[in-house]
Structure 1
């Protein structure tokens, strides 16, 4: 893990407000040192120096994260969510080495006014409050264009890009996509496991594919410049989106079903179709997702088994990382929201050893240090590492964003 970025001044979320008066006083998880550091990498001095150089000098983009901080005591989770004031983990981001991060915020836990989540007014509230906080500091900046990413890199900042894991909140109103774009959303999924008006999610018994309204929504996203994601969509819906979109799409956080046979992973046919149209797959690391038979206890090594397979399948130019981490107890979050997040259906009944956290990929502060360290230790070239930690994503964004 890197030292704090020089640009970071120590700002903490919502410090312009009065804790306990303007919002509830809740103790939040540590952003650094919540779990022991990863011990799985043995780097020589030269490899360590190269890892730090690549993390510092190159454009590093996480295609999918949740960079907010969760309560230290997860019994406070519902109270924390109800107030709709997710704190961004500025301290952790200052140690991450990331140039840009696609932050998907509350998403399936967006339950401010309803336990069912995904309400349009709740999503707008979440976006607006997060943007108000971003506006009160100068280290993490709102990212909406490729230029914003390059400017962040040049100035030692982090470009924060708003994403949404599903378009459920637009209901049958395609113009809501324009509103969300106006709020800064630049990447959006089709469905989050449950079917919606656009198409089917991966938990459903049957997949009817992209609906006619879904086709209209894909067309509008292409026109607006919203990057499309199918990580949680059903297989047929994902294939329909790849076919209907005039721009390359992302599978922002996933892995291969050939490596670990659950619904949460995508079959190689979908991954290949995405790549053939110019798209990119981001490797997932949320707890108990990208497991492998070689490494069934979830860790960095499990995720990199998917990486090696996908690189062999579609080429290194179509693979990147969307670790899908957060600051706090991610396993505890899944336990609390198993119904909202369709955890049971995603695992498809496949047995696995449960872990307390994903060793080596526990939070956004450590992910890319360990990913790049692994790539360095396995003799990937600077050009290959540069591509998979940011270059491949930039290539797609240059085509998709307006």
Structure 2
């Protein structure tokens, strides 16, 4: 059973406002216990105690999540998103054991004013409303620096880092990066599945690589101290970004194409290029992404197959975790936004069996708890576990952030 932090006082999102008067209220999914607890690992009492100690005492950082809570009835999803008031899952975070989390907000589902998403005004609205809510509670800390992560670790609270999965909303305005940095964004992707002014997304038929404007944007991100993510970029664009950046880059949430042959996974060449420049790949766990031949029904075991593949490929110093989970029906979200998220093009013609949820990595509350338990069970040392659950990410941030 996941333990709740004693520092969490029960605050729920936007409770400083009056539901039904100040905003439209929805019934939201459970943050704890929405699906059965994972039973795929059997640890001894000593192993459980060791895993708990690592989770609670070490710096644990998720490279990619969506820590909002989604409606219980996913048929209400678009109506909910139109309100522009995504609720942060404070209760779930209080059970997560995380020191800090990169939260990617609505991104491609940021459809407040347009079904196409990615509009600059919508992204700013989302960021501003979320920050207003964060300011009315004291358990989750808004992180803008390494000192803020250390404060979260020392106080036992959770650090929240704003991130965006693509730079599509800046259009051809490089100075918008400064504005987003001012709002607290500390990590940003180049392109999502669709191509944009910076470069190609992973779904496109051809990949022309990083554009001249993309080179300007990469240079500005380096100067500002925005960590760069290439998870959803096309293969050539990924390689061009690694070459153009003066700082290490992240693949915050992906897996290995050598293990599961879809465009959503990264090639060995890309993973190696990121590692050679000091960067890190965070292993993904969103439904139906990091499948493996050994574990074709998506579960913690499938995800850890990708983890071990990447460790074998580039070494333990360049691998971490970005599970890409949320509070609610993630598969239902994918069904509702399949076109926005380009799921068909990302999966290509690879067949897979759909699951209702990823067993063992269903939401941000349980993810690192089970990841650490798996690492303990499979004989990883405390030093190696420290690296992959936070240390490797911190090393990159020390070089990237200002």
* TM-score over 0.5 for the pair: yes
Residue 243 of structure 2: aligned partner: 243
Alignment of 1:224-235 (within 5 A): 224-235=224-235
Q: Secondary structure at the match of 1:282?
A: strand
Q: Secondary structure at the match of 1:187?
A: strand
Residue 181 of structure 1: aligned partner: 181
Q: Deviations over 1:83-102 (max 9, x none)?
A: 00000000000000000000
Q: 2: CA distance between counterparts of 1:25 and 1:167?
A: 31
Q: Secondary structure at the match of 2:51?
A: helix
Q: 2: CA distance between counterparts of 1:79 and 1:232?
A: 27
- Does 2:275 align with 1:278? no
Residue 46 of structure 2: aligned partner: 46
Offset of 1:25 from its aligned partner?
Answer: 1.3
Residue 93 of structure 2: aligned partner: 93
Q: Deviations over 1:27-69 (max 9, x none)?
A: 0000000000001010000000001000000000000000000
Spell out structure 1 runs of 4+ moving beyond 6 A. none
Offset of 1:349 from its aligned partner?
Answer: 1.2
Q: 2: CA distance between counterparts of 1:398 and 1:2?
A: 31
Alignment of 1:23-38 (within 5 A): 23-38=23-38
Alignment of 1:131-142 (within 5 A): 131-142=131-142
- Does 2:182 align with 1:165? no
Offset of 1:138 from its aligned partner?
Answer: 0.3
Unaligned runs of 5+ in 2: none
Q: 1: CA distance between counterparts of 2:254 and 2:361?
A: 14
Contact preservation (8 Å) 1:6, 1:156: no
Q: Secondary structure at the match of 2:341?
A: coil
| TM-score, structure 2 as length reference | 1.00
Q: Secondary structure at the match of 1:340?
A: helix
- Does 2:271 align with 1:258? no
Q: 2: CA distance between counterparts of 1:62 and 1:268?
A: 22
| TM-score, structure 1 as length reference | 1.00
Q: Deviations over 1:372-393 (max 9, x none)?
A: 0000000100000000000000
Q: 2: CA distance between counterparts of 1:345 and 1:144?
A: 35
- Number of aligned positions between the proteins: 402
Residue 377 of structure 1: aligned partner: 377
Q: 2: CA distance between counterparts of 1:172 and 1:97?
A: 40
Contact preservation (8 Å) 1:200, 1:207: yes
Offset of 1:108 from its aligned partner?
Answer: 0.7
Offset of 1:2 from its aligned partner?
Answer: 3.0
Offset of 1:130 from its aligned partner?
Answer: 0.2
Residue 7 of structure 1: aligned partner: 7
Q: Deviations over 1:314-364 (max 9, x none)?
A: 000000000000000000000000000000001011000100000000000
Alignment of 1:50-65 (within 5 A): 50-65=50-65
